[in-house]
Chain A
Amino acid sequence: MKDLTDTRHTAKRDGPQVLDAARLFRDHAEFVANFAIRLGVGRPEVDDVVQEVFLVAHRRGGFVPGPARPTTWLAEITLRVVSASRRKLRRSWEDADTEAVAAASAQAGSSPGEQAEASEALRRVQQALDTLEEGKRAVFILFELEGESCEAIAAGLGIPIGTVYSRLHKARKQFMEAHARLVAGPPRPLARSQTVTS
């Protein structure tokens, strides 16, 4: 992938370099796909969500550098697309988590034992994420798993930084409680999708 200064994929608009949607796609499609999966999107729908996100980014005229990062800016669009699509497609997303975990376990670790361990860890995280309301879930994912700063999250999601801190605090509490319950609980049998695809 070429450097961001590649003028073929930046547009000059009153000063700041605008990253167009094609450039964004090449740099951040995988981020969007993974963010969508962590938000609960099922594997069959991921590509459609990714395409939709970047079409919206395209309609918005691309990313203008500022306090937000391209990733947090795209996260806001993804959140909207996912939120809206979830209402439409709720039924088909029921098994989203197990499918994501199955795909993950297929590429994790080299031995079956490591794969099973990684799969369990990812399942616990995904299930704990499922207990969070969407706004908190997005902040938690961006901060804890994607390593974004609170400032960039606030700018990307268009919310005050105090709200980011507040959501993060509540999300952490809820996530840790859910995770503790999952660790203490009996191991869950593999979902059918796991046994089929991994």
Chain B
Amino acid sequence: MTQEPTRLLDDVSASAGLRRDLAAAARQRVPYDAGAGAARFEASLAKGASAASSGWGASAFGIGALILGGLIGGGLWLSRPEAPAPVPVLDSVGAARTAVSPDMSPETDRAPAPRAPQAVVQDMSQRPVEAPAPEEAADDMSEKPAPTAARGDAKKVRAGKSAARGAGRGGVGSADYLREARGLQTARGFLGRDPAEALSRAEAGAAEFKAGQFAQEWEGVAVLALFELNRRNEAERRAAGFLTRYPNGPYAAQVREALDRP
């Protein structure tokens, strides 16, 4: 078995400048607003739940239907004078997209002829069957967490009847999750300008959502806020506990950076 190569970062034969630059890049984490992103993603799943997350049984049905369709349609396809042009595909929330990858392969139930089963098997059973009416999802637009998300979601939220049923199934759990994500986003927003408020909101959020999904994020915001407030001892103590529990979490790099700062 070949030995794992030494990383350039750790390779003393590499130039110091190169290693320094790579170290800076490796440490660097461009912040991604996980709270807002998660809220948007969860909303997408909820809206497209019946189509996009209908479970493994639907997959099995889809595969069977696909094979049958492939057998029947294959002959038709071969008899066609030329291959059909790519058509927009529907993602899990029913938004029209241009086919760009195997996972976003053309929607066969809308295409004039079936495709090769292997190319579409993952998506076939999970997409909405009918094209959605744009106005049907209008009441869900308020769920979008930020204007930047709205741009992308403008396409994505056009969910059909099945999506509406999916949103209904989201129920209290989804609402709590979204509320928690929004609260976290707000708390995080105070970092760098009002750390006391960020800390207060993070502590309150962690207490309110004890069984929530963002325990790590609440604590991460609290730890970073403590550093910003220069409450060094408490910050270091909680940072140590945080890094033990979440050594590779999304806030770990920022917490390590805060610890390293003099």
* A binding-site residues for B, Cβ under 8 Å: 1-2, 13, 21-22, 25-27, 29-31, 33-34, 37-38, 43-44, 46-48, 50-52, 54-56, 58-61, 77, 80-81, 83-85, 87-88, 100, 103-104, 107-108, 110, 118, 121-122, 124-126, 143-147, 149-150, 161, 165, 168, 172, 176, 179-180, 183
Check if A1 sits within 8 Å of B30, measured CB to CB.
no
CA distance A50 to B37 in the complex (A): 8
Check if B56 sits within 8 Å of A34, measured CB to CB.
no
Which of A37, A77, A85 touches B30 (beta carbons < 8 Å)? A37
Check if B7 sits within 8 Å of A121, measured CB to CB.
no
Scan residues 77-93 of chain B and give those whose CB is less than 8 A from a CB of chain A: 91-93
Check if B101 sits within 8 Å of A145, measured CB to CB.
no
B25: chain A residues within 8 A (beta carbon) = 38, 121-122, 125-126, 145
Check if A84 sits within 8 Å of B9, measured CB to CB.
no
Q: How far is the CB of A163 from chain B (nearest CB, A)?
A: 12
B196 CB-CB contact with A under 8 Å: no
B186: chain A residues within 8 A (beta carbon) = none
Residue-wise interface mask of B (94-120) relative to A, using a CB-CB cutoff of 8 A (1 in contact, 0 not): 000010111110000000000000000
A34: chain B residues within 8 A (beta carbon) = 28-30, 32
Which of B41, B123, B215, B217 touches A59 (beta carbons < 8 Å)? B123
Q: Top 6 closest A-B pairs, CB basis?
A: A84-B100, A1-B216, A33-B32, A121-B24, A125-B25, A30-B250
A107: chain B residues within 8 A (beta carbon) = 30-31
A55: chain B residues within 8 A (beta carbon) = 41, 44, 52, 91-93
Known: A22-B45, A61-B59. A27 touches B249 (CB 8 A): yes
Check if A176 sits within 8 Å of B28, measured CB to CB.
no
Check if A168 sits within 8 Å of B100, measured CB to CB.
no
Q: How far is the CB of B169 from chain A (nearest CB, A)?
A: 14
Check if A145 sits within 8 Å of B100, measured CB to CB.
no
CA distance A61 to B119 in the complex (A): 15
CA distance A110 to B230 in the complex (A): 14
Which of A1, A103, A125 touches B215 (beta carbons < 8 Å)? A1
Known: A29-B32, A30-B29, A87-B100. A124 touches B37 (CB 8 A): no
Residue-wise interface mask of B (39-80) relative to A, using a CB-CB cutoff of 8 A (1 in contact, 0 not): 011101100000011001001000000000000000000000
Residue-wise interface mask of B (8-42) relative to A, using a CB-CB cutoff of 8 A (1 in contact, 0 not): 11000011011011101110111110100110111
B31: chain A residues within 8 A (beta carbon) = 30, 103, 107
A147: chain B residues within 8 A (beta carbon) = 7, 26
Which of B37, B42, B103 touches A60 (beta carbons < 8 Å)? B103
Check if A29 sits within 8 Å of B37, measured CB to CB.
yes
Check if B101 sits within 8 Å of A122, measured CB to CB.
no
Q: What range describes how many residues of B lie at the interface?
A: 35 or more
Q: Give me 17 A-to-B residue pairs in the complex whose CB atoms sit less than 8 angstroms apart, sorted by A's number.
A: A26-B38, A47-B40, A47-B152, A51-B40, A54-B41, A55-B52, A56-B104, A58-B45, A59-B123, A61-B56, A103-B30, A104-B28, A122-B28, A126-B25, A147-B26, A176-B18, A183-B17
Check if A48 sits within 8 Å of B32, measured CB to CB.
no
Closest chain B residue, CB of each to CB of A179: B18
A172: chain B residues within 8 A (beta carbon) = 8
Scan residues 122-174 of chain B and give those whose CB is less than 8 A from a CB of chain A: 122-123, 126, 148-149, 152, 156
Closest chain B residue, CB of each to CB of A99: B30
Check if B214 sits within 8 Å of A1, measured CB to CB.
yes
Check if B4 sits within 8 Å of A51, measured CB to CB.
no
Q: How far is the CB of B190 from chain A (nearest CB, A)?
A: 15
CA distance A47 to B153 in the complex (A): 11
Residue-wise interface mask of B (197-236) relative to A, using a CB-CB cutoff of 8 A (1 in contact, 0 not): 0000000000000000111110000000000000000000
Closest chain B residue, CB of each to CB of A102: B30
A26: chain B residues within 8 A (beta carbon) = 34, 38, 213-214
